[in-house]
Structure 1
Amino acid sequence: MGTEGAAPWSVLRKDDEQRSLLNSLEATSSERIIDPCIYRVPPILRKMNEEAYTPSLVSIGPFHRGNETLKPTQHLKFSYANKFLMRTRQQNSVDDYARAVRDWEDEIRRRYYESIPMGRDEFVEMILMDGCFIIELFVSVFLEITSKSNGGTYLLTKRWPVGFDIMRDLILLENQIPFFVLEGLFNLAFPNGLNDKISFHELAFENLSPSFKPTIYSPNSKMCKKFSYSYFVDHHLTLPNGDRLQVEHLCDMLRAFYVPSNPPTIVRGSNHKVKCSCTANQLHEAGLKFEVHQDRGIFELECSEGVFKMPLIRINVMTEIMLRNLVAFEQCHHNFEKYYVTNHMFLLYNLIKTGKDVEILVEKGIMENFLGDNNDVATMIIKLSQQVVFAGINTNYGNLYVKLDEFYNNPYHKYKANFVREYWSTPWKRVSLFGGILLLSLTLIQTICSIISLFKK
Structure 2
Amino acid sequence: MNLERPNKLVEKSSREPKAMAADGSNTDEDVKIFLEYMEKKIKYTSPFLYTIDRVLKPIRDVKPEDYTPRLISIGPLHHQEPHLIPMEAHKLRLVKEFLYRPFNKATLGDYLREMKGYEKEVRQCYSEKNPLNSDDFVRMMVVDGCFLLQLILGWTHYLNGDSIFNETWMPHIMRDLMLLENQLPFFVLNKLCKLCNGESRPDTIYDDTRNFIWNFLRLGQDVMLSRPDSETKHFLDYARHLYVSPFLHEHEQRFIRRKHSATELKKAAAVKFQKTNTRRFTDITFDGEDGKLNIPTIYIDNSTESLLRNLIALEQSHQYSVKYVTNYAIFMNDLINSPKDVKLLKKDGIFEGQVNPIEVADLYKNLLKEVTVPYDVCFSQVYHELESYYDSSWYRLGTIRHRCVSKICKMMKCVKTKYFDSPWSLIAFIAASTVLGLTMEPTIASFKSLKQKGVAAVSHETGVVE
TM-score by length of 2: 0.74
Shift of 1:393: 2.9
Residue 309 of structure 1: how far off its partner (Å): 2.6
- The partner residue of 2:266 within 267, 277, 284 is 284
CA distance in structure 1 between the partners assigned to 2:149 and 2:93 by the alignment: 12
Q: Are the aligned partners of 1:155 and 1:162 in contact in 2 as well (CA < 8 Å)? A: yes
Match of 2:382 in 1: 400
How far does the alpha carbon of each residue in 1:384-415 deviate from its partner, in whole angstroms, 9 at most, with x for none? Answer: 111111124344x1122223233334471577
Amino acid at match of 1:281: T
Contact 2:75 2:184 in 1 (8 A): yes
Distance in structure 2 (CA, Å) of the matches to 1:88 and 1:97: 16
- Report the equivalent of 1:232: 226
* Count of residue pairs the alignment pairs up: 376
CA distance in 2, matches of 1:90, 1:139: 12
Hey, what does 2:39 align to over in structure 1?
Answer: 23
Paired position in structure 1 for 2:3: none
Residues 104 and 388 of structure 1: CA distance in aligned 2, closer, same or farther (over 3 Å): same
Structure 1 position 346, deviation (Å): 0.8
For 1:197-216, list aligned pairs within 5 A: 199-212=204-217, 214=218
Please report how far the alpha carbon of residue 18 of structure 1 lies from its aligned counterpart in structure 2 after TM superposition. 7.7
Write the distance in 1 (CA, Å) between the matches of 2:311 and 2:104.
Answer: 39
Deviation at 1:369, TM superposition (A): 3.8
Where does 1:284-363 land on structure 2 (aligned, <5 Å)? 284-296=266-278, 297-300=280-283, 301-305=285-289, 307-317=291-301, 318-335=303-320, 337-363=321-347
Q: Deviations over 1:370-390 (max 9, x none)?
A: 233212111011111111111
Distance 2:277 2:351 in 1: 15
State the match for 1:113 in structure 2. 127
Shift of 1:41: 1.1
User: Does structure 2 conserve the Cα–Cα contact (< 8 Å) formed by 1:274 and 1:393?
Assistant: no
Contact 2:315 2:326 in 1 (8 A): yes
- Residue pair 1:140, 1:154 contacting (<8 A) in 2 also: no
Q: Which residue of 2 aligns with 1:433?
A: none
Shift of 1:75: 1.2
Cα 1:78–1:284 shift into 2, 3 Å: same
Structure 1 residues 197 and 108: CA distance shift in structure 2, 3 A: closer
**CA apart distance, 1:287:** 2.7
Structure 2 CA distance for partners of 1:50 and 1:420, relative to 1, 3 Å: closer
Bigger helix share: 1
What secondary structure does 1:47 align onto?
A: helix
Which amino acid is 2:369 matched to?
Q
Per-residue deviation, 1:198: 6.2
1:182-237 CA-partner distances (Å, limit 9, x unpaired): 110111111145xx47611111111111101x2xx4xxxxxx23432xx102xxx3
| 3-state SS of paired residue (1:309) | strand
> Which AA in structure 1 matches 2:118?
W
Structure 1 residue 92 corresponds to structure 2 residue 75: no
Say whether 1:72 aligns with 2:86.
yes
Max Rg structure? 2
Describe the SS at the equivalent of 1:338.
coil
Instruction: Specify the alignment match of 2:245 in structure 1.
Output: 260
Determine helix, strand or coil for the equivalent of 2:294: strand
- Residue among 378, 388, 392 paired with 2:371: 388
Alignment of 1:269-280 (within 5 A): 272-280=254-262
Cα distance change of structure 1 residues 414 and 177 upon mapping to structure 2, 3 Å threshold: same
Aligned to 1:220: none
Report the CA distance between 1:166 and its aligned residue: 1.1
Query: 1:184–1:247: structure 2 CA closer, same or farther, 3 Å change rule?
Result: same
Paired residues of 2:262 and 2:335 also in contact (CA < 8 A): yes
Mapped partners of 1:372, 1:139: distance in 2: 32
| Contact 2:268/2:390, CA 8 A, preserved across alignment | yes
Alpha carbons 2:190, 2:203 under 8 Å: kept? no
Letter in 1 for 2:157: L
Change (3 A) 1:311 1:408: closer
Partner of 2:75: 61
One-letter amino acid of the structure 2 residue matched with residue 208 of structure 1: I
Identity percentage of aligned residues: 25
Partner of residue 151 from structure 2, selected from 120, 134, 137:
137
CA distance, structure 2, for counterparts of residue 17 and residue 27 of structure 1 = 15
Measure how far apart 1:43 and its partner are: 1.6
Change (3 A) 1:143 1:182: same
Q: Shift in Å at residue 176 of structure 1?
A: 0.8
Counterpart for residue 172 of structure 2: 165
Equivalence for 1:454: none
> What is the one-letter code of the residue matched to 1:24?
K
Match of 2:412 in 1: none
Decide which of 162, 179, 186 is 2:186's aligned counterpart: 179
Candidates 368, 376, 379, aligned match of 2:351 = 368
The answer to whether the 8 Å contact 1:279/1:350 transfers is yes
SS at structure 1 position matched to 2:367: helix
Tell me which residue corresponds to 1:446: none
**1:7 alignment counterpart:** none
1:295–1:311 contact (8 Å) kept in structure 2:
no
Q: Give the direction of change, closer, same or farther, for the CA distance of 1:331–1:181 in structure 2 (3 Å limit).
A: same
1:419: how far off? 5.4
Rounded Cα–Cα distance in structure 2 between residues aligned with 1:284 and 1:413: 14
Match of 1:439 in 2: none
CA displacement at 1:59 relative to structure 2: 0.7
SS in 2 for 1:292: strand
**Alignment check: 8 A CA contact 1:131 1:182 kept:** yes
Provide the rounded CA distance (Å) in 1 between the counterparts of 2:362 and 2:199.
Answer: 49
Normalising by structure 1, we get a TM-score of 0.75
Q: What are structure 2's unaligned runs of at least 5 residues?
A: 1-25, 405-466
Unaligned runs of 5+ in 1: 1-9, 146-150, 218-223, 238-243, 423-457
Q: Report the aligned-residue RMSD.
A: 2.8
2:77 aligned with 1:83: no
Aligned partners of 2:257 and 2:383 also within 8 Å: yes
| Partner residue in 2 for 1:377 | 360
Match of 2:231 in 1: 246
1:35 corresponding residue in structure 2: 49
CA displacement, residues 102-156 of structure 1 (integer Å, 9 cap, x when unaligned): 11110000000111111111111111111111111112223327xxxxx833523
Counterparts in 2 of 1:95 and 1:419: CA distance versus 1, 3 Å: same
Give the secondary structure class of the aligned counterpart of 1:261. coil
Is 1:46 matched up with 2:46? no
For residues 32 and 319 of structure 2, what CA distance do their matches in structure 1 show? 38
Residues in 2 aligned to 1:421 and 1:390: alpha-carbon distance in whole angstroms: 31
**What letter corresponds to residue 319 of structure 1 in structure 2?**
T
